[in-house]
Amino acid sequence: MKIVGRNRWYVALLLATATIAHAQSGGSAATTANVSAPVAAASPVNAKAQRAANRQLAKNVRQALSRTKTLNIVNVTVRAKQGVVTLQGSMPDNNQIEQAAKVASAVSGVASVRNDLTTIRQAQ
């Protein structure tokens, strides 16, 4: 391809501009790609999916607790956030509190259990 007359200057200007831009970006296309890569963790879609996963995990733990016949879970609240399950509320005795923590930790997807359950004194 032959560049004639004034077009030669345009080509030279384009090449010079491209060379300067390349030099200012660090000289490599990989560097430029890494700098401009979007952050996916902050997207609303991922946040929505995480909230749904948290709700499902809390539901699974509540179901496991309710299936355990020796537990009285009337006053128990279950919360989940990224695999960490928090048990809050009150139970009749320490044995049930310990058992509830064991049952919760056995549920698939539970990374750890924070047991904030307390005992309630029953009127005699």
114: domain CATH number is 3.30.1340.30
pTM of the complete model: 0.63
- Is the domain of 51 the same as that of 112? yes
HSE of 51, CA atoms in CB hemisphere, 13 A: 6
Token digits of residue 28: 């490599």
At 41, phi and psi to the nearest 5? -65, -25
- Is the domain of 61 the same as that of 115? yes
Token digits of residue 96: 């049930």
For 51, the domain range is 45-119
Provide the pLDDT for residue 26: 52
Token digits of residue 123: 């009127």
For residue 12, pLDDT over 80 is answered with no
Residues 85, 61 contacting (CB under 8 angstroms):
yes
- Is the domain of 90 the same as that of 31? no
Q: How many domains does the chain have?
A: 2
Residue 97 belongs to a domain: yes
- Is the domain of 24 the same as that of 49? no
pLDDT-above-90 percentage for the chain:
60
